[in-house]
Amino acid sequence: MIGFLIKKTFFDLWDNLFRIAIVNLGFVVSAAIPILLPAVLADIPLLALAAIVLGIFWCVLYLVATALSVKNLSDYGTFGFADFFANLKDGFPTALLLSIVAGFWLLLAYVALPFYAKLGTMVGLFAASLVFWTLVIILMALQYLLPIRARLDRKAGKILKKSFILFFDNPLFSVFLFLHNLVILALSFFLAFLAPGPAGILLFLDEALRLRLLKYDWLEAHPDADRRHIPWEELLAEDREKTGTRSLRSFIFPWKD
């Protein structure tokens, strides 16, 4: 399943490379707002702070709209600028949710964790360990938040609940997703984050959820089946046929096929 996930994501990324690059360029420009604008407004602290807060929220909203848009690529479709702008409006509540969760995570990481770690007692060590693993679990579960919003639910409570359920039911798979995206992020640095970039990472996460949901559909149809033996070859047969195979020549010169 993992091999096909990587293959399909690469194919979809390559087929929509220009669209992905444009979306990533928009994010790079957006990310520059909370970084550069406060320096310009340094003499007006309140405006500088507002630029940081609003700029960060805009980046979060942009990521939500990207996640809602790349879902179409996972489903063998496409999206246009009109779709993306519509998703900006539609994704506002989810951007608020993600901002709150991210703010809570940062509060734990930069306030609670150092505080307990500095106590120097067994109680402090235990509390610091508890906070650390809470941070890890939240980070792993957050990988599913935007794909779940795009595919399964719109309600904040249900999105969070399903994110954690997916993590606890697929811990090793979640760790793989995280490590894979770290590699993709590092590779994106050398391409100025235009490819694969944030859009490529969100596409990969959406592809991952889409394929993983096949497991749950099968388990629902076979409640007595062994959860440790999922017939992935059977479940992925239709997608393998749709995705097909390609030669190196077809990637470089697709018009010659």
Residue 38 is predicted with a pLDDT of 87
- Whether 92 is covered by a domain: the verdict is yes
Q: Is residue 257 a part of any domain in this protein? A: no
Tell me the CA distances in angstroms from 48 to 27, 35, 53, 61, 127, one per residue in order.
20, 10, 9, 20, 36
Kindly state whether residue 238 falls inside one of the protein's structural domains. yes
Longest dimension (CA), the chain: 69
Residues 210-242 have pLDDT tens digits of 999 999 999 999 998 888 899 999 999 999 999
Contact indicator for 139, 131 with CB cutoff of 8 Å: no
Q: Using one digit for the tens of pLDDT, what is the confidence trace for 151-169? A: 999 999 999 999 999 999 9
Q: List the alpha helices (DSSP H) in 16-155.
A: 17-40, 45-74, 81-90, 92-107, 113-117, 122-142, 145-151
> In this model, does residue 19 exceed pLDDT 80?
yes
Could you tell me if residue 44 is inside a domain?
yes
Task: Provide the number of structural domains found in the chain.
Answer: 1
- Residue 256 within a domain: no
At a CB cut-off of 8 Å and minimum separation 6, what does 9 contact?
200, 203, 204, 207
Tell me what pLDDT residue 51 has: 92
| Predicted confidence band of residue 250 (pLDDT cuts 50, 70, 90) | low
What rounded mean pLDDT belongs to the chain?
A: 94
147 domain-assigned: yes
**What is the residue range of 125's domain?**
2-251
pLDDT at 7 over 60: yes
Write out pLDDT tens, residues 63-74: 999 999 999 999
Q: Is residue 93 part of a domain?
A: yes
CB 159 within 8 A of CB 97: yes
Domain presence at residue 71: yes
